[in-house]
Amino acid sequence: MEATKVAVLGTGRMGGALARRLQASGFAVTVWDRTREKAERLKVGPVGATPADAIRGANVVLSSLTDAAAVRSVYLGRDGIIEHAAGQLLVEMSTGGPDVIEEIAQQARVRGVRLLEAPVLGSVPAVESGTLAILVGGLQAELEQARPVLERLGEVHSVGALGSAARLKLVANSMLGIISAAAAELLAAGTAAGLERGQVFWALARYAPLLKAREAGFLRDQHQPTMFAVRDLVKDLDLALNLYDRAQASVPLTLTTRALFADGLPGSSDLDISAIVRRPARVQQPHEVQP
């Protein structure tokens, strides 16, 4: 039986990990990246010269791209895949926000192209172990075609119509940012109060087990290899705050968290978000506690 053909567009940290996992799982993988050498270094299969070239002959196309601008370029730009799709199922996995999903979905409907969104919760280690949480928005029939591919990457959660998964991903990443900022603050506060740093971290991780994956960062100031870069979290928090503003939702913790991460951005943009432990001990707050 011929292997399912999968094209992976974008071979950064996440896209590269997706391509490696799928190739190791027996899929016939073609890749594309705007930096061709990055795609070639993966050695998982043929490298397309353009997005349109990479998807030729594929059954399922996954895209994992930097931001909304990159998504627009790959889907709607010159050699974009919406225009050149010929029966492939397109699965957009980036964190670009709901607006860009609506833009590409509108063009997909006009051209009769099938589209799902499937942003993920988790980073490279979760890809490698097949334990991502995959948030899928779109039609059930199309999800069933994509399911054999997506289930090699993790647990699939159908969350509603197109755009629903993008919104839920922003809510989830807001929570990740808040937890990380709170952990950094309380680690410093507990240590200042005379407690042993490792014991403080152990207690915090009991309440927030996801911190364990970043123990080296929080306890030993080791923020590479990067699982989720500070600049990417700030980008996602900006998207989230735009979403919440339009919904007229009050999000003071998210606003403060964005300010804390942005404060450390100049020296830590490419480091993992655990680098929030390096922020200055005191940053300007909207309301200071009066003595």
Question: Which of 122, 118, 91 has the alpha carbon at shortest distance from 14?
Answer: 122
Q: In this structure, what token pair is assigned to residue 200?
A: 């403080």
Helix (H) or strand (E) holding 136: strand 132-137
110 CB burial (10 A radius; 0-12, 13-18, 19+): exposed
The CA distance from 33 to 43, in Å, is 13
The DSSP bridge pattern shows strands 60-63 and 132-137 to be: unpaired
Axis-axis angle for helices 230-246, 252-263 (nearest 10)? 150
Give 152's Cβ-side CA count (13 Å radius): 16
Which residue in 5, 169, 212, 235 is the catalytic one?
169
C-alpha closest to that of 39 among 14, 12, 76: 12
C-alpha distances out from residue 131 to 117, 141, 154, 185, 246, Å: 18, 23, 4, 29, 33
**Is 212 one of the annotated active-site residues of the chain?**
no
Q: Are 271 and 224 in contact (CB under 8 A)?
A: yes
Residues 38 and 12: beta-carbon distance below 8 Å: yes
Give the residue numbers annotated as catalytic, written as ranges: 169
